[in-house]
Amino acid sequence: MCREDGTYEAGEQLKAQWRISRISLEQLQGLEVSVLWHTEGKGDEDLHVHHFYRLDEAELQELGIDDAQAISCKLPLTPLSYHGHLIHLRWCIRLRLFVEGRREIVAEQPFYLVSCRGEKTSVMTLRSQSE
């Protein structure tokens, strides 16, 4: 990820890199890269995919997997990451590998989506001017 602390502001560009090791290109039948959020905790669990792409076997052969690959997308304004007592809303980048033998390998890298600092400043400025 381009941020070591894994914190991104709403509306900001998410940039990250992924790389596959310990699995040969010949074993891969496809992969999916997603930026998503999901809830955990009391009640129904929700999941929403914000950004997604899939590479099939032919695309993987053309691309190769030896070098790091980039993912980039503009993050939405909501929902923000939340860690409450009863519910958690978590954002992550998910890499899902489809390996020969009908196996799937899933890896996730969590990150935090937080409110824009600039918006808070603007709201505070507007309030102080109107008083």
What is the Cα–Cα distance from 67 to 14, expressed in whole angstroms?
A: 20
Q: What is the dihedral of CA 28, 31, 37, 43, to 10 degrees?
A: -60
What domains does the chain contain, in order, with CATH numbers? 7-130 (2.60.40.640)
Q: What is the DSSP letter of 26?
A: G
102 alpha-carbon distance from chain centroid: 25
Given a cut of 60, whether residue 72 has pLDDT beyond it is: yes
Q: How confident is the model at residue 127 (pLDDT cuts 50, 70, 90)?
A: very low
Q: What is the DSSP letter of 50?
A: E
Given a cut of 70, whether residue 4 has pLDDT beyond it is: yes
State how far the alpha carbon of 92 is from the alpha carbons of 23, 53, 60, 126, in Å: 22, 15, 23, 34
E strand map for the chain:
7-9, 13-18, 28-41, 47-56, 69-74, 82-83, 87-99, 103-114
pLDDT of residue 65: 87
Given a cut of 60, whether residue 119 has pLDDT beyond it is: no
Given a cut of 50, whether residue 118 has pLDDT beyond it is: yes
Cis peptide before 79 (omega within 30 of 0): yes
Encoded tokens for 7: 């914190």
20-69 per-position pLDDT tens digit: 998 999 999 999 999 999 999 998 999 999 999 999 999 999 998 889 99
